[in-house]
């Protein structure tokens, strides 16, 4: 894919503050040239989904044009080629998150499906009445509801790690929550509302000292910070392709082989079996045991292209660039009278949630939209967190490697304009 060489040229190594040549990167994303209501698009809804570079768009259309055939089932040329490409995408994902084996990389539809798979299969294998699962007060609904569904089925309890006023996990309380019935900790790496980067390494060490495995929701971390599941010691790790410049409908569940082997399949159907008779069915080996039916092989291939794109730029550079942009945004937003930033943890990622005076978030979002500025408003699928802060919702600006300080300035000017209208 030509994106790689483009990226190499896009790096401006000798400038400390802006190591990424953002204008060159923006040209990789055709949608960024769009206008909305006659205004240039300022896309600040990256935590919901990222835009796609041309190489990912091309990859999807090339794959359908040239190599489309159902995978794993055919002896014919195209089927084998598509299978090879999907399996090489799996290897690519393995490398990207530092997993030990491709057997531990399960393709899913996204973080939500990854956590539903985990909750369903883990609960069936390991959880019974009276057991306890720890989650946190800053989880996305997709790391709450799947556990509630299984808790109803198996009778285990869900205990919640509280969130401090700053928007950090209360790790002192966390340590007190362990009992002999604690069977799993499932928490987010980065909050999609507060931007807080949780100290997952310390959390994993603490949980492991009690013999408890840890699942991490990586939906908001994998696109922004280098993740190595083995260095972290994570037992499970979930993320979505569409939040890291890949297509929708594809995601990943990493799971430690020793645990995955003990867990039953999530869904039944083709591909996940070794042998089927009406009396007894035996299951396929990992990871196929968890991939029933025709997988989104084109999605896997396009996800791998997106990861190559990120690697071509360098995750460290992306993290540094976004961190500087986010600090700039916080400084500029803080100049606005009546600005209340929700989530002020020092260790944070590229998300800023805020409220301005008594202006309802959806009014703010609607008026900013008219100025071409796309932000997200509402509870961000984290209603318990909204309850924690006693607010109905927030306005959320979330940044990506293609956003600029000029766009932050447009956001600030837009908010000022809306403020004056109220
Ligand atoms: N977890 C977090 C922290 C998220 O931010 C999101 C989506 O915004 C999800 C899970 C769910 O991701 P998806 O909708 O791609 O499955």
pLDDT tens for each residue of 339-391: 999 999 999 999 999 999 999 999 999 999 999 999 999 999 999 999 999 99
- Are 402 and 29 in contact by the 8 Å Cβ rule? The answer is yes
Residue 178: its pLDDT value, please? 98
Cα 100 to averaged position of ligand 1 atoms, centre (Å): 25
According to the model, what pLDDT value does residue 31 have? Answer: 98
Q: Can you give the residue range of the structural domain that contains 31?
A: 3-52+314-421
pTM over the 0.75 mark:
yes
Q: Please tell me the residue having the least CA distance from ligand 1 atom 4.
A: 219
Name beta bridge partners: 185. 134, 214
If asked whether residues 360 and 219 sit together in one domain, one would say no
151 and 235 belong to one structural domain: yes
Atom of ligand 1 nearest to the CA of 240: 15
Catalytically active residues, by annotation: 381
Each residue's pLDDT tens digit, 163-222: 999 999 999 999 999 999 999 999 999 999 999 999 999 999 999 999 999 999 999 999
Instruction: Say yes or no: 187 and 70 in one domain.
Output: yes
Residue whose CA is at the smallest distance from ligand 1 atom 12: 111
Atom of ligand 1 nearest to the CA of 217: 1
Residue 2 has pLDDT above 60, yes or no: no
135: nearest Cα among 163, 106, 166: 163
H helices within 110-219, ranges in order?
111-126, 145-154, 171-176, 200-209
pLDDT at 5 over 70: no
CATH number of the domain encompassing residue 45:
3.90.1150.10
Q: Give the Å distance between the CA of 201 and the centre of ligand 1.
A: 21
- pLDDT computed for residue 347 by the predictor: 96
Confidence of residue 1 (pLDDT cuts 50, 70, 90): very low
The angle formed by the CA atoms of residues 143, 209 and 190, to the nearest 5 degrees, is: 30
* Dist CA 203 CA 194 (whole Å): 19
Residue 220 belongs to a domain with what CATH number?
3.40.640.10
Is 70 exceeded by the pLDDT of residue 8?
Answer: no
Left (φ > 0), alpha (ψ -120 to 50) or beta: where does 381 sit? left
Q: Are 15 and 33 in a shared domain?
A: yes
Q: Ligand 1: which residue has its CA nearest to atom 5?
A: 192
Which two three-digit tokens encode residue 398?
A: 């979330």
- Do residue 160 and residue 28 come from a single domain? no
Alpha-carbon Rg for the chain, nearest whole angstrom, is: 22
The two tokens of residue 334 are: 């803080």
Out of 107, 111, 217, give the residue to mutate to test ligand 1, the one with the largest number of ligand atoms within 8 Å of its CB. 111
Q: How many domains does the chain have?
A: 2
CA atoms within 13 A on the CB side of 107: 30
Atom of ligand 1 nearest to the CA of 243: 15
Tell whether 177 and 273 lie within a shared domain: yes
pLDDT in tens, 92-142: 999 999 999 999 999 999 999 999 999 999 999 999 999 999 999 999 999
Residue where a domain stops, chosen among 311, 329, 345: 311
Whether residue 128 is found in the same domain as residue 225: yes
Say if CB 196 and CB 168 are below 8 A apart: yes
Out of 289, 311, 333, a domain closes at: 311
Banded model confidence at residue 73, pLDDT cuts 50, 70, 90: confident
> What Å distances lie between residue 54 and 8, 51, 120, 313, 352, CA to CA?
16, 10, 37, 15, 28
Any idea what DSSP says for residue 78?
Answer: H
Distance 251 CA to ligand 1 centre (A): 10
Residues 41 and 97 in one domain: no
- Higher local confidence (pLDDT), 74 or 273: 273
pLDDT digits (tens, 9 = 90+) for 219-254: 999 999 999 999 999 999 999 999 999 999 999 999
Q: Are residues 230 and 95 in the same domain?
A: yes
Per-residue pLDDT at 15 exceeds 60: no
Do 187 and 164 meet the contact criterion of CB atoms below 8 Å apart? no
Element at 273 (helix H, strand E) = strand 273-276
Q: Which of 119, 223, 296, 381 to mutate to test the pocket of ligand 1 (most atoms within 8 A of CB)?
A: 381
User: Which residues sit with their C-beta closer than 6 Å to ligand 1?
Assistant: 47-48, 110-112, 140, 142, 188, 192, 217, 219-220, 240
Q: Are strands 35-36 and 351-356 parallel, antiparallel or unpaired?
A: unpaired
Ligand 1 nearest atom to the CA of residue 188, by list position: 3
Ligand 1, atom 14: closest residue by C-alpha: 112
Count of all residues that appear for the chain in the document: 422
- Provide CB contacts within 8 A for 328, sequence distance 6+: 405, 408
Q: Are 242 and 56 in contact (CB under 8 A)?
A: no
Give the mean model confidence (pLDDT) for residues 253-279: 97
CA 289 / ligand 1 centre spacing (Å): 24
Q: In 67-110, where does DSSP find H-type helix? A: 77-97
Q: How far is CA 366 from the centre of its chain?
A: 26
Whether 188 and 268 share a structural domain = yes
Residue 7 scores a pLDDT above 70: no
Ligand 1 centroid – CA 113 distance (Å): 10
Q: Which of 264, 291, 311 is the last residue of a domain?
A: 311
In a shared domain, residues 78 and 165 = yes
Q: What is the pLDDT of residues 269-308, one digit of tens each?
A: 999 999 999 999 999 999 999 999 999 999 999 999 999 9
Residues 100 and 244 in one domain: yes
Show the tokens assigned to 86: 């999907």
Report whether pLDDT(17) > 50: no
Nearest atom in ligand 1 to 248's CA: 15
Query: Distance, CA 142 to ligand 1 centroid (Å)?
Result: 7
Q: Are 323 and 402 in contact (CB under 8 A)?
A: no
| 110 CA distance to ligand 1 middle (Å) | 8
**For residue range 390-400, what is the model confidence (pLDDT) as tens digits?**
999 999 999 99
pLDDT of residue 12 exceeding 70, the answer is: no
Considering the chain, what is the average pLDDT of its residues? Answer: 95
Residue 6 in this model has a pLDDT that exceeds 60: no
């Amino acid at each position: 894919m030509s994106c790689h060489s483009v990226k190499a040229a896009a790096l401006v190594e000798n400038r400390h503050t802006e190591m990424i040549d953002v204008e060159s990167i923006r040209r990789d994303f055709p949608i960024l040239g769009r206008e909305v209501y006659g205004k240039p698009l300022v896309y600040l809804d990256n935590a919901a989904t990222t835009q796609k570079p041309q190489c990912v768009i091309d990859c999807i259309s090339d794959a359908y044009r040239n190599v489309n055939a159902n995978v794993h089932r055919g002896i014919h040329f195209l089927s084998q080629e598509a299978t090879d490409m999907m399996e090489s995408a799996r290897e690519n994902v393995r490398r990207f998150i530092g997993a030990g084996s491709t057997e531990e990389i399960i393709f899913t539809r996204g973080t939500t499906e990854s956590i539903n798979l985990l909750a369903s299969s883990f609960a069936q294998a390991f959880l019974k009445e009276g057991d306890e699962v720890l989650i946190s007060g800053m989880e996305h609904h997709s790391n709450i509801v799947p556990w509630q569904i299984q808790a109803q089925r198996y009778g285990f309890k869900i205990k919640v790690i509280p969130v401090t006023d700053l928007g950090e996990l209360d790790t002192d309380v966390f340590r007190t929550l362990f009992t002999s019935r604690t069977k799993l900790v499932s928490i987010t790496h980065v909050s999609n509302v507060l931007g807080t980067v949780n100290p997952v390494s310390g959390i994993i060490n603490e949980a492991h000292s009690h013999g408890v495995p840890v699942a991490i929701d990586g939906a908001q971390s994998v696109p922004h910070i280098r993740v190595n599941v083995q260095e972290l010691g994570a037992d499970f790790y979930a993320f979505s392709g569409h939040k890291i410049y890949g297509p929708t409908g594809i995601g990943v569940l990493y799971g430690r082989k020793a645990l995955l082997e003990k867990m039953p399949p999530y869904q039944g159907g083709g591909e996940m079996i070794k042998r089927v008779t009406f009396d007894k069915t035996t299951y396929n080996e990992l990871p196929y045991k968890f991939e029933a039916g025709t997988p989104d092989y084109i999605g896997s291939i396009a996800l791998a292209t997106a990861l190559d794109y990120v690697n071509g730029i360098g995750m460290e550079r992306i993290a540094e660039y976004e961190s500087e942009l986010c600090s700039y945004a916080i400084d500029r937003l803080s100049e606005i009278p009546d600005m209340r930033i929700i989530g002020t943890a020092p260790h944070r990622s590229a998300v800023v949630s805020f409220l301005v005076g008594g202006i309802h978030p959806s009014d703010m979002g609607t008026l900013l939209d008219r100025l071409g500025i796309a932000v997200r408003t509402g509870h961000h699928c984290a209603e318990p967190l909204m309850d924690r802060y006693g607010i109905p919702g927030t306005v959320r600006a979330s940044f990506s490697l293609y956003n600029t300080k000029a766009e932050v300035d447009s956001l600030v000017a837009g908010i000022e304009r809306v403020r004056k209208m109220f």
